[in-house]
């Protein structure tokens, strides 16, 4: 155990977060995301028993976001015609506002298949048990 480290962050996840450098990307994926196939060239970390909001909150305590890009946080857009609501996005924006002075303005969206292509370039993908649809979030690491 370490002081000041959220207990939800496993040793494996802490190691990956520490290995990442400026501009590296991290995907926190919902339970429907094809983490293993998209992450063939990434480190895939299983956090199946956890939801994305609790992991995002813990990660942002340690993880600086990249303010050299307009949107260091990207969400997967809902497919046109898909009758899905995304209230989890509001939760993310509230969490981001607590950890980053730029708040919700740093959040962008990517079309679903564009999100998949960007996720293939990620350093790591965290596979969660999140049940909310279109809950995937991509973070780009900044500097301290």
Annotated catalytic sites, by residue?
22, 66, 116
φ, ψ dihedrals at 111, nearest 5°: -55, 150
The separation between CA 36 and the C-alpha centre of its own chain, rounded to angstroms, equals 16
Tallying the residues shown for the chain, one arrives at: 144
DSSP string, 74-98: EEEPPPTT-----HHHHHHHHHHHH
- Is 139:26 a contact under the CB 8 Å cutoff? yes
Q: Which helix (H) or strand (E) holds 108?
A: strand 107-110
Q: Tokens 């079309």 sit at which residue?
A: 111
Of 102, 89, 90, 100, nearest to 137 (Cα)?
89
């Amino acid at each position: 155990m370490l002081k000041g480290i959220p207990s939800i962050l496993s040793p494996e996840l802490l190691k990956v977060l520490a290995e990442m450098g400026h501009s590296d990307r991290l995907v926190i994926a919902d339970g429907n995301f094809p983490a293993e196939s998209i992450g063939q060239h990434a480190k895939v970390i299983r956090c199946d028993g956890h939801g994305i909001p609790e992991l995002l909150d813990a990660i942002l305590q340690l993880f600086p976001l990249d303010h050299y890009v307009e949107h260091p946080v990207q969400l997967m857009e809902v497919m046109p015609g898909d009758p899905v609501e995304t209230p989890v996005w509001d939760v993310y924006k509230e969490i981001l506002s607590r950890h980053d002075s730029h708040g919700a303005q740093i959040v962008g969206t990517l079309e679903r298949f564009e999100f998949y292509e960007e996720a293939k370039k990620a350093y790591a993908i965290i596979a969660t048990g999140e049940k909310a649809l279109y809950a995937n979030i991509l973070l780009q690491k900044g500097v301290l």
